[in-house]
């Protein structure tokens, strides 16, 4: 499990998080995978590309997990 530290913000958009932690190669790829229902936030499929991910949440993509802290 990876950890991502929120620095100066209270949230990060889901598509940006996937790109930053190298789960996807680009933001466009992240948006496409989210739209296909391949990403889970806190165990639930998330279809909103710019869903606000906050501290304490976990994101799962193809068995790779990142916890936002």
Domains of the chain: 2-68 (3.10.290.10)
Q: Write down the pTM of the prediction.
A: 0.94
Q: In whole numbers, what is the pLDDT of the chain averaged over residues?
A: 96
The dihedrals phi and psi of 14, each to the nearest 5 degrees, come to -55, -45
pLDDT of 67 over the 90 cut: yes
pLDDT of 16 over the 90 cut: yes
Give the C-alpha separation, 61 to 8, whole Å: 25
Of the candidates 5, 35, 30, which has an alpha carbon nearest to the alpha carbon of residue 15? 30
pLDDT of 58 over the 90 cut: yes
* 9 CB burial (10 A radius; 0-12, 13-18, 19+): exposed
Q: How many CA atoms lie within 13 A of 27 on its CB side?
A: 7
pLDDT of 41 over the 90 cut: yes
Per-residue pLDDT at 54: 98
């Amino acid at each position: 499990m990876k950890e991502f530290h929120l620095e100066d913000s209270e949230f990060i958009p889901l598509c940006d998080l996937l790109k930053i932690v190298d789960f996807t190669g680009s933001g466009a790829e992240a948006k496409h995978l989210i739209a296909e229902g391949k990403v889970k936030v806190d165990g639930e499929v998330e279809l909103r590309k710019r869903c606000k991910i906050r501290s304490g949440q976990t994101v799962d993509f193809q068995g790779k997990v990142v916890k936002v802290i």
